[in-house]
Amino acid sequence: MKSSKITQLLQDLKETDEVARQRATSELWQLWFAQKGEMGRELLKRSQFFLEIGNFQKSEEILTETINNYPDFAEAWNRRAVLYFAQEKYEQSKQDCQKVIQLIPYHFGALHGLGLCLLALGDYREAIAAFRQALEIQPHALINQKLILECTALL
């Protein structure tokens, strides 16, 4: 999933122009959600619906089935990581974040999520490393800068 368009979007994330950064962020998310076409997007929407109404089991079933059918669909892994994090299943969430990063090394959402999991697990040094990786891709993401400071204070 690397192309000249993605290369340009990743460059735009580093721009001083906030509008350019927001547009690039939004476009990357759209690409990730659209990786498996309309069917993939619909499965993610269905799982999100069940997550939002608190039916974590049904959301997980949809995501796990999607992952089984499309093991290279990074956003399905990422959505399941979000689901696990919401349930405080940090180790499982961490593993899914790592899979996303394996599939799409520049997935700043998964790097941020990995950092959050590591923070929750008390692995502050590794959390800082994950947040720094996310910042390499999205240098203006203040939340990652804040979380690095938080983790540093906890060391």
Distance separating the N- and C-terminal Cα atoms of the chain: 37
Number of compact structural domains in the chain: 3
CA 51, 54, 58, 64 dihedral sign is positive
Residues 152, 116: one domain? yes
Query: What is the band of 1 on the pLDDT scale with cuts at 50, 70, 90?
Result: low
pTM attached to this predicted model: 0.94
In a domain, 100, yes or no: no
Q: Assign residue 119 the CATH number of its domain.
A: 1.25.40.10
Residues 114, 155: one domain? yes
What does the pLDDT average to over 134-147?
96
What does the pLDDT average to over 7-30?
96
Query: What is the band of 3 on the pLDDT scale with cuts at 50, 70, 90?
Result: confident
The pLDDT value recorded for residue 85 is 98
Residues 72, 109: one domain? no
